[in-house]
Amino acid sequence: MSTSDLLTAEFADRDDAVLLHVRGEIDMGTAPALREHLEAAVTRGPADAPVLLDLTKVGFLASAGLALLVEYHTRCRDSGRSLRVLTDGGAVLRAIQVSSLDNVLEVHPSIEAALTEH
C-alpha cells in the first residue's frame, strides 16, 4: 500500500472558510503528505478565513499528526487565521484528548459548529 492509499485529502470550495477533508490514517508515513495539504490550505482563500481541517473520516492519528496540528494551529494564529479541527469522536478525538491538545486546539464536531461557535 502506498502513502496515497493510506491518506487522501481534498479541498471543498467555500466562501466563509478553507475546508480540507482528510480520509485515512495520519502517522509518520503519511504526515508529509498532510503537511503539503496543510501548507496549501494556509495560503488558500481570504487571508482571514478559518482553515477547517475535517478529520471525521480519519481512523488513526499518531503523534506525528498531532505535532502537525499544533504546528499549523500556531502558524494560522500567528498569521491572523484560525485552524479548526473537525472530529465527531473516535480515535482522533481520543488522541487529541489524551495528549491534552483539546486545551490548545479548536476542536468542533461539525462544519456548522466550527463556523457558528465563534
Its pTM stands at: 0.94
User: pLDDT tens digits for 50-77?
Assistant: 999 999 999 999 999 999 999 999 999 9
Domain ranges of the chain: 8-116
Confidence of residue 118 (pLDDT cuts 50, 70, 90): low
Q: What is the pLDDT of residues 83-93, one digit of tens each?
A: 999 999 999 99
H helix runs in 8-110, sequence order: 31-42, 63-78, 90-98
Query: In terms of Cα–Cα distance, which of 64, 62, 106 is closest to 87?
Result: 106
Q: Which CATH superfamily, name and number, covers 8-116?
A: STAS domain (3.30.750.24)
